């Protein structure tokens, strides 16, 4: 932001004395950044102004009459607010601090402890982080476009050959072409997955395109994709009879399964079987991917679902990966209202399980 432009700040606080104090603190700030402060004295007025999107940063008091700033923070982010939001409280509270950060706050300040320097730095850092996030979003959008273009061409040429013509492919060539098409579709889903993870990190919801789909057909497709890339393992499916249909985003759940199957193969240096179990439980369908690989220490299970985390095991040093698969899978499962967890023992193998709320409709009939 050019230094000649004032940073537009909105304070949502039901105490006019706090507005006067904040205005005085911002007036003390020296340097190239100038601030223009506006005030909303109620929750509803603050929400209306936030939704207008005219400000560069928002300061929300935690106590807003019978409601609180944390609720307003969550509502603003859910409505698509892009500007950074800083939560203010009258006294320090570690629980509120953690809840604010989890909900997407850029910072958390105690009003009695915030001088002009601390307030200016908090706003400046929040704006810089937002600028970096915007650059990352543009880079991801550009990268996804540049990757999609050749993938679309590859799939298009393969479909053209597969659909016949003067040189109709034989059986082997048909199988190869189908694998190319399937691989191109999988890479496209991976690109979408990275974009979804970026949205989650920015505090935005994952977009789901839900439909009724045949669970067994999705499972078979996931195993087919994984088998094409498998280096060590073979795959076995154990699926309850009459598993039926689910209502959800088929392609995002397919990505979860292929991520888990790929991990099972990568972290099984000795090879062997990987079993994908699908069972129906009351109110849900449970998926479990079981391997007999190196296993994971119990104290590392939760950390595996954080972005870029890799297994800290000398045997895994040569295993390539981004450390994003499980983090993305967790967000996709939870977006469906499900849960995901790990059971593992070092040297014995790993089982990653997740559930998706069930639906009672029968599986779609094949044409």
- pLDDT bracket for residue 331 (50, 70, 90): confident
311 in the same domain as 235? yes
240 in the same domain as 320? yes
- Segment 130-152 mean pLDDT: 73
Evaluate whether residue 275 is within a structural domain: yes
Distance CA 192, CA 366 (A): 28
Q: 221-230, 263-272, 355-364: lowest mean pLDDT where?
A: 355-364
Residue pLDDT, tens place only, 15-66: 899 999 999 998 888 877 889 999 999 999 999 999 998 999 999 988 887 8
139 in the same domain as 124? no
Evaluate whether residue 206 is within a structural domain: no
18 in the same domain as 95? yes
187 in the same domain as 108? no
CATH number assigned to the domain comprising residue 21: 3.40.50.2300
Q: 39-43, 71-75, 136-140, 255-259: lowest mean pLDDT where?
A: 136-140
Our count of domains for the chain comes to 3
Q: Which residues of 133-172 are buried (b: 16+ CB within 10 A; e: fewer)?
A: beeeeeebeeebeeeeeebeeebeebeebbeeeeeebeee
Evaluate whether residue 61 is within a structural domain: yes
235 in the same domain as 193? no
Q: Phi and psi dihedrals of 167, rounded to 5?
A: -115, 75
Evaluate whether residue 164 is within a structural domain: yes
Boundary-marking domain end, from 166, 181, 201: 201
Evaluate whether residue 44 is within a structural domain: yes
Evaluate whether residue 328 is within a structural domain: yes
337 in the same domain as 271? yes
349 in the same domain as 224? yes
Q: 54-68, 309-323, 347-361: lowest mean pLDDT where?
A: 309-323
349 backbone φψ class: left, alpha, beta (φ>0; ψ -120 to 50): left
Boundary-marking domain end, from 80, 100, 131: 131
Please tell me the predicted confidence (pLDDT) of residue 97: 79
CATH number assigned to the domain comprising residue 215: 3.30.565.10
Distance CA 120, CA 139 (A): 29
Distance CA 206, CA 213 (A): 20
12 in the same domain as 39? yes
Please tell me the predicted confidence (pLDDT) of residue 364: 45
- For every residue of 260-299, DSSP letters joined together read HHHHHHHT-TT-EEEEEEEEEETTEEEEEEE--SS---GG
157 in the same domain as 229? no
226 in the same domain as 95? no
Please tell me the predicted confidence (pLDDT) of residue 363: 44
334 in the same domain as 219? yes
Evaluate whether residue 229 is within a structural domain: yes
Evaluate whether residue 367 is within a structural domain: no
Tell me the residue range of the domain where 45 lies.
Answer: 7-131
- As a whole-number percent, the residues of the chain with pLDDT over 90 amount to 26
Nearest to 69 by CA among 11, 8, 127, 130: 11
Cα 176 to the center of its chain, rounded Å: 33
Boundary-marking domain end, from 151, 178, 201: 201
More confident residue, 283 or 176: 283
């Amino acid at each position: 932001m050019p230094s000649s432009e004032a940073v537009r700040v909105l304070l949502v606080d039901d105490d006019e004395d706090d507005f006067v104090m904040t205005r005085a603190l911002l007036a003390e700030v020296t340097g190239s950044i100038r601030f223009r402060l506006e005030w909303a004295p109620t929750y509803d007025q603050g929400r209306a102004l936030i939704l207008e999107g005219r400000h560069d940063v928002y300061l929300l008091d935690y106590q807003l009459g019978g409601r609180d700033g944390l609720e307003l923070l969550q509502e603003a982010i859910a409505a698509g607010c892009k500007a950074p939001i800083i939560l203010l409280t009258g006294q320090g509270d570690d629980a509120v601090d953690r809840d604010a950060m989890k909900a997407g706050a850029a910072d958390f300040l105690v009003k009695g402890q915030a001088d002009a320097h601390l307030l200016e730095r908090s706003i400046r850092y929040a704006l810089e982080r937002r600028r970096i996030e915007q650059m990352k979003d543009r880079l991801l959008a550009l990268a996804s476009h540049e990757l999609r273009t050749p993938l679309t061409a590859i799939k298009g040429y393969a479909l053209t050959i597969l659909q016949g013509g003067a040189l109709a492919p034989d059986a082997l060539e048909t199988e190869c072409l189908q694998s190319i098409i399937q691989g191109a579709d999988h890479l496209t889903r991976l690109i979408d997955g990275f974009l979804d993870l970026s949205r989650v990190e920015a505090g935005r919801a994952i977009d789901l395109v839900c439909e009724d789909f045949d669970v067994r057909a999705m499972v078979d497709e996931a195993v087919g994709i994984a088998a094409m890339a498998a280096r060590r393992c073979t795959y076995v499916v154990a699926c309850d009879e009459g598993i039926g249909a689910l209502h959800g985003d088929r392609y995002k759940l397919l990505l979860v399964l292929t991520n888990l199957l790929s991990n099972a193969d990568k972290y099984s240096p000795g090879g062997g079987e990987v079993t994908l179990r699908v069972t129906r439980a009351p109110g849900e369908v449970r998926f479990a991917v079981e391997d007999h690989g190196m296993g994971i220490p119990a104290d590392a299970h939760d950390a595996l679902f954080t972005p870029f985390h890799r297994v800290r095991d000398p045997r895994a040093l040569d295993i390539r990966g981004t450390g994003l698969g499980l983090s993305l899978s967790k967000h996709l499962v939870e977006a469906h209202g499900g849960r995901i967890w790990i059971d593992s023992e070092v040297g014995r193998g790993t089982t990653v399980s997740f559930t998706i709320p069930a639906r009672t409709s029968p599986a779609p009939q094949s044409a």
